Amino acid sequence: DAGITQSPRHKVTETGTPVTLRCHQTENHRYMYWYRQDPGHGLRLIHYSYGVKDTDKGEVSDGYSVSRSKTEDFLLTLESATSSQTSVYFCAISDTNTGELFFGEGSRLTVL
């Protein structure tokens, strides 16, 4: 168990509302990532962080923002949710020695 928890695990919201997903790690890893997973697309990187207050964009960052004020927490925010953001969101941390990614259990978001 890699010590990653995501919250909430399920959320239904309406178009135009803000949504924040939280990822918490107990492993003290430097790198943290947010992915979304959609049928036929695999996992796509939204944003990642390489340290406290250090973040960068991934492949599909439009409409998303992130923040990392503490090593253990990485927040993903949808400022104004759209139906195209209905997806399963995964947080991950990486072991820089092995390149292995450890994933959380996922957060299923439905935007109506």
Question: Residue 27 gets which letter from DSSP?
Answer: S
**Residue 3 contacts other proteins per CB under 8 A:** no
Which residues pair with residue 12 across a beta bridge?
110
Please name the residue that has the structure tokens 């995501």: 6
**Residue 51 contacts other proteins per CB under 8 A:** no
Question: Contact, 95 vs 3, CB < 8 A?
Answer: no
Residue 76 CB: number of other CB atoms within 10 A? 23
> With CB under 8 A, what is the number of residues at the site for other proteins?
26
Nearer to other proteins, 58 or 63 (CB): 58
Sign of the alpha-carbon dihedral angle for 48, 46, 3, 79:
positive
**Residue 52 contacts other proteins per CB under 8 A:** no
Nearer to other proteins, 9 or 70 (CB): 9
Taking the C-alpha atoms of residue 23 and residue 84, their distance in angstroms, rounded to an integer, is 22
Question: Contact, 9 vs 107, CB < 8 A?
Answer: yes
Contacting range for other proteins; rule: CB under 8 A; set: 16-24, 62-70, 74-82, 86-94:
86-94
Contacting range for other proteins; rule: CB under 8 A; set: 13-21, 48-56, 60-68, 72-80:
48-56
Shortest distance (Å) from residue 61 CB to other proteins = 11
- Binding residues for other proteins, rule: CB under 8 A, are 31, 33, 39-45, 48, 50, 56, 58, 90, 92, 94, 96, 98-106
